[in-house]
Structure 1
Amino acid sequence: MNILSLVAYAVIASFTPGPNNIISMTHAGKQGFRSTFPFISGVAAGCLLIMMMSGYFNLVLHEYIPVITPALNVLGCIYMLYLAFKIMRSTSHASEAEENPKHTYSFWFGFTLQLINPKVILYGLTAMSVFVLPHTQSHQLLLLYSLLLTLIGISANLTWAFGGSLFQPFLLKYERPFNIIMGILLICTAISMIK
């Protein structure tokens, strides 16, 4: 397995703007870094659950319908290219997270948000089907990779929260160049997996 490609995909998918990152940043910017911990711990629990479910869902498909594996790789690549172009064209999402600035973002809010967050669900399905299952079907390794993907995702939330508490105006000012760079890196990752 090319672990560097998996990690590159995970970092790019995790650190680009999404509901969890934007909420973490704006909440920390308004109420402090520590106030995001309950929300981020809920996001972590939900992310781990989704990564494990994605791994086992893909494992069932891989074991019982082996013909579908190449199709999953192609779909994963197409999704990554779509995500790259969407990221590169996106505008600021901070206003969405600021609509209710007094809201307390709890553990359960973070957990529930993960269960309905298409970015995280597709992130898990793509990472498992493209990078993990073609190389291993071990239950222990599925759990290990689920933990790795969750840790990368949570490090992104913590980074955005920390950045929000320190540099929110700066990050919002340069969001567009950041998105373009992340999109280009995601395109490179997608291309590397179809070689």
Structure 2
Amino acid sequence: MFHLYDFLIYCFVTAYTPGANNLLSMSNAIRLGFRRSIRFNLGILAGFAVVMSVCTAFSSALYSFLPRIEIIMKILGAAYMLYLAWKVWKSAADLKPGGGKEAGFLAGMILQFANPKIYIYAITAMTLYILPVYHSIGSTIAFTVVLTLIGASGSFVWALFGAAFCRILSKHAKMVNLIMALLLVYCAAALFL
């Protein structure tokens, strides 16, 4: 039996909690404004679609090997998140509306391939909610699209939040970047909890 409410709760909580996509989307929108951050977020959407498709296609095989590769994914993902935390903290002077280099489509897309949250999101959703109930190619493609849209929507919402509150957040740039960097450190640590 498919548990729609559990599935949706899982998807939205995962998509809207702090992670690399959401924090970088908010940071870009603060610096550049929402409109100039859209290309980055579209890159996130495209990369998300590719990663989600690959995870869907190989979910059953990955699931059986997950105990063996899980620690490698965690270590690489945590190292990347710590690198992002350092970059966010270091960029405190750039957190001013209209300032800084524009984040592009390719940067948003490439980020997805090193973002362990997406892999965990995809594999968990597929193996716990979808594959036990739905087996047709059409249904897995439909769920891949749904998971992609829900997952990537979080970065757009965080970008809107950053753009809406950019004046307040830019006055406290150092503190905002410290909090975002600490959230990324937390995300890295949470992989091992």
Give the TM-score taking structure 2 as reference length: 0.68
Alpha-carbon distance in structure 1 between the residues aligned to 2:90 and 2:141:
37
Instruction: Name the counterpart of 1:15.
Output: 16
Gaps of 5+ in 2: 68-83, 95-99, 184-193
Maintained 8 Å contact 2:37/2:102:
no
Alpha-carbon distance in structure 2 between the residues aligned to 1:38 and 1:2:
35
Gaps of 5+ in 1: 63-67, 76-92, 180-195
Percent identity of equivalent pairs = 30
Instruction: Name the counterpart of 1:126.
Output: 124
Aligned length: 155
User: What are the within-5 Å matches in structure 2 for residues 29-178 of structure 1?
Assistant: 29-60=30-61, 68=64, 96-97=87-88, 99-100=90-91, 101=94, 102-167=100-165, 169=169
Shift of 1:105: 1.2
| Ranges of 4+ aligned residues in structure 1 off by more than 6 Å | none
Alpha-carbon distance in structure 2 between the residues aligned to 1:16 and 1:60:
28
Task: Provide the alpha-carbon RMSD of the alignment.
Answer: 3.3
Maintained 8 Å contact 1:52/1:142:
no
CA deviations 1:78-100 (Å, max 9, x no partner) are xxxxxxxxxxxxxxx87743634
Give the TM-score taking structure 1 as reference length: 0.67
Question: Quick one: structure 1 residues 130 and 167, their matched pair in 2 at CA, closer, same or farther if it must change by over 3 Å?
Answer: same
Shift of 1:60: 4.8
